[in-house]
Structure 1
Amino acid sequence: MRKYSRQREAICEYLGSRKDHPTADMVFQAVRQVYPKISLGTVYRNLTLLASEGEILKLNCGDGVEHYDAQTAPHCHYYCRSCGSLKDIFMEEPIRLAYEKESEDGDLIEGCNIMFYGICEKCKNAVDKAE
């Protein structure tokens, strides 16, 4: 059992309050408001620990930074290539297929990370209005 940490608890609370999948720097900036002496390294170490223990998800959507999600129930993500927004998508079919199958080699599949890419409705509408 790991030792309790107020800073780690603050990181978890912050992530749990967000739906926008913040980066480590965003987490650092927010938690620093409560714990001014916290270091960016401490935030990274705690995010890595929480992700390795399955308490949060670490997401890479190809924008050069990792994002974090407190929602660990099986779900997909959607990344807008225009504005960089990242949101949850709850679609049963892709998740169900991933969990019900074994790989062709017989490997047991325990989870998946499905990332959809495109242009969000807000950005699409902005382009349509500009034309």
Structure 2
Amino acid sequence: MERTIRYSKKREAILEAICSTDIHPSADWIYQRLKPAHPDLSLGTVYRNLNFFREQGTVQCVAVVNGQERFDANVRPHNHFICDCCGAVIDLHQIPVDAGLDRQVSETYGLQVHHHDLVFHGTCAECREKSQIS
């Protein structure tokens, strides 16, 4: 039996919070952002809705940074950079997604690759600047 999906103001607010930022928020960030306007919101509700959106393909989990999953409403293929100092997650839209890499890995290792995620790690420009000032 197919489950009916009910409209929810909280669900709408959670999705809007993710869509309105490019910082790749965590569940805790979303919760803290929405709690003042939705006093009865629980962190569990945020997590349940994030899982719902992920199952629907509306959002994706980019990575786990400092123990927290970080989410992105842009589900089109693109690459990311994670700052190991401050935890910033940055979209790298100008780095092309290489479909040939999927084919190469498939052929080389005898696997069937459906897609891949490319995440760079290092120090962002802000943290580099701060370390040069210190």
The CA deviation at 1:118 is 0.2
The CA deviation at 1:101 is 5.5
Structure 1: gaps spanning 5 or more residues = none
The CA deviation at 1:65 is 0.8
Structure 2: gaps spanning 5 or more residues = none
Correspondence list, 1:3-22, <5 A: 3-22=6-25
* CA–CA separation in structure 2 for the residues paired with 1:69 and 1:16: 8
In the alignment, what sits opposite 1:126?
130
In the alignment, what sits opposite 2:71?
68
TM-score when normalising by structure 2: 0.83
Kindly report the root-mean-square deviation, in angstroms, between the aligned alpha carbons of the 2 structures: 2.0
Q: Which amino acid aligns with 1:54?
A: G
In the alignment, what sits opposite 2:120?
116
Which of 105, 112, 121 in structure 1 is aligned with 2:110?
105
The range that moved more, 117-126 or 98-107, is 98-107
Confirm or deny: 8 A CA contact 1:75 1:95 kept in the other structure: no
Confirm or deny: 8 A CA contact 2:77 2:97 kept in the other structure: no
The CA deviation at 1:36 is 1.2
- Number of residue equivalences: 129
In the alignment, what sits opposite 1:85?
88
The CA deviation at 1:61 is 3.7
In the superposition, relative to structure 1, how do residues 51 and 101 fare at CA in structure 2: closer, same or farther (>3 Å)?
A: farther
In the superposition, relative to structure 1, how do residues 28 and 62 fare at CA in structure 2: closer, same or farther (>3 Å)?
A: closer
Correspondence list, 1:39-58, <5 A: 39-58=42-61
TM-score when normalising by structure 1: 0.85
SS across alignment from 1:21: coil
* CA–CA separation in structure 2 for the residues paired with 1:101 and 1:2: 41
* CA–CA separation in structure 2 for the residues paired with 1:38 and 1:87: 28
The CA deviation at 1:59 is 2.4
Give the % identical residues: 31
Confirm or deny: 8 A CA contact 2:78 2:96 kept in the other structure: no
